[in-house]
Structure 1
Amino acid sequence: MQVTVVDHPLIKQKITKMRAEHTSSRDFRECLDEIAMLMTYEVARNLPLQEVEVATPVAKTTGYKVAGDIFVVPILRAGLGLLTGVLKMIPDARVGFIGLYRDEETLKPIEYYCKLPDNKDGVTIVVDPMLATGGSAAAAISMLKARGLKNIRFMCLVAAPEGVKVMNDEHPDVPVYTAALDEKLNEHGYIVPGLGDAGDRIFGTH
């Protein structure tokens, strides 16, 4: 199974708080924002670099900056919860959006919106808090590839083995990063133990 679990004590502590059913939307969003920042370190670990000259107060030296464009593409709506944290770490990143919703009967993703950067030569980080059935994530990445985006990475908060398998089968070239790999999906397609509907908990809806 090709998946990187970003295993860090601070992330584990924050996810525990997010799992608790009585955690407020405010605290849920705050933890999600902080986890996104922490995870971005790992997702961006091998980004390409280029050398730049910088003058310190003492002397000139060689420094580095990320080479090329970075695109962050949240899957609406829940993916917006990860966007701010990623942008805090990569403030020059360009942002695209993919709107998908899951049919409650078939559990299949349906597209309703797509807006992507014009330039397609860069690293693309797709973000969505939950990787459950894998249908939405796989569909979103297929949409990106069809529009010319390459070098794609997928970042989520909680994943189910079923969703990781779908991603590995349909997009073996796309690395998956998650903060937690949970036990399974239930009969309704929700991650167990999970943390409920991430979109509802982020935005305080039902």
Structure 2
Amino acid sequence: MRVHVADHPLITHKLTVLRDKRTPSPVFRQLTEELVTLLAYEATRAVRVEDVEIQTPVTTTVGVRIADPKPLVVPILRAGLGMLEGMVKLLPTAEVGFLGMARNEETFEPTTYAERLPEDLSDRQCFVLDPMLATGGSLGAAIDFLFARGAQDVTAICILGAPEGVAAIEKQVGDRDVTLVLGSLDERLNEKGYIVPGLGDAGDRLYGTV
């Protein structure tokens, strides 16, 4: 598994505002979108392309375009939805699927309550969106789900990660082709399974409590 922690002052600046508990939901949502676009730039370095000949105003030349089958972007509901717009803004030709997962707050184990994905993901590059990599349960389950459908390689984009979550994903994926892109690798998890210093519950801060 490859792990890339983004190191850019704009990312650090936006993360600082996201972490601040005084940041209201509208600002939080806007900054999340901007931040994910920056992370998506890093995450798509290995996106598959194919040559294409075009005519410029001066001459013909060969460029590249996103290859078929198109990449699949999969936000993990609900918090991953807040990352979707920032991702498809950079990769507008991608298709979008959905995975609904919830964490049991006592066992920290994930359960899948909804999915909207192609039955066959053979030869597809998949980009999973999950704001917080804490214990790694939900993200690990999502990665397993995609590979079970035939995905060839999976890139996970997370705003924050904890060392415990990174280690859990690394152990789970084995030699499968997985890349993890983080905005920041934080210190640790607390006794409730929350990232420290973190930014709280991303879903609640994006959309409010239900």
User: TM-score per shorter chain, which class?
Assistant: over 0.9
Task: Decide whether the 8 Å contact of 1:95 with 1:117 is kept in 2.
Answer: no
- Counterpart-to-counterpart distance in 2, 1:2 and 1:53: 33
- Match among 148, 152, 166 for residue 164 of structure 1: 166
Gaps of 5+ in 2: none
> Relative to structure 2, which stretch is displaced further, 10-19 or 50-59?
50-59
2:109 aligned residue:
108
- Counterpart-to-counterpart distance in 2, 1:153 and 1:2: 9
Q: Name the TM-score, length of structure 2 as normaliser.
A: 0.95
Task: Decide whether the 8 Å contact of 1:2 with 1:164 is kept in 2.
Answer: no
**1:12-91 to 2 correspondence within 5 Å?**
12-68=12-68, 69-91=70-92
Question: Could you give the per-residue CA deviations for residues 18-63 of structure 1, whole angstroms, max 9, x where no partner exists?
Answer: 0000101011111110011111111000122211111111111111
- Match among 185, 192, 196 for residue 188 of structure 1: 192
- Classify the secondary structure of the residue corresponding to 1:196: coil
Task: Decide whether the 8 Å contact of 1:94 with 1:117 is kept in 2.
Answer: no
Task: Decide whether the 8 Å contact of 2:72 with 2:97 is kept in 1.
Answer: yes
Kindly report the root-mean-square deviation, in angstroms, between the aligned alpha carbons of the 2 structures.
1.3
1:200 aligned residue:
204
- Match among 142, 145, 151 for residue 147 of structure 2: 145
Deviating above 3 A after TM superposition, structure 1's stretches of 4 or more consecutive aligned residues are none
Identical aligned residues as a percent: 49
Task: Decide whether the 8 Å contact of 1:55 with 1:61 is kept in 2.
Answer: yes
Alpha-carbon distance, 1:118 to partner: 4.5
Q: Does 1:179 align with 2:180?
A: no
- Classify the secondary structure of the residue corresponding to 2:114: strand
- Classify the secondary structure of the residue corresponding to 1:139: helix
- Counterpart-to-counterpart distance in 1, 2:94 and 2:2: 26
Q: How many residues align?
A: 206
- Classify the secondary structure of the residue corresponding to 1:205: coil
Q: Name the TM-score, length of structure 1 as normaliser.
A: 0.96
- Counterpart-to-counterpart distance in 1, 2:88 and 2:48: 18
Task: Decide whether the 8 Å contact of 1:50 with 1:67 is kept in 2.
Answer: yes
2:100 aligned residue:
99
- Counterpart-to-counterpart distance in 2, 1:40 and 1:118: 25
Alpha-carbon distance, 1:2 to partner: 4.4
- Classify the secondary structure of the residue corresponding to 1:141: helix
Alpha-carbon distance, 1:205 to partner: 2.1
- Classify the secondary structure of the residue corresponding to 1:73: strand
Task: Decide whether the 8 Å contact of 2:5 with 2:184 is kept in 1.
Answer: yes
Q: Which amino acid aligns with 2:31?
A: C
Task: Decide whether the 8 Å contact of 1:123 with 1:150 is kept in 2.
Answer: yes
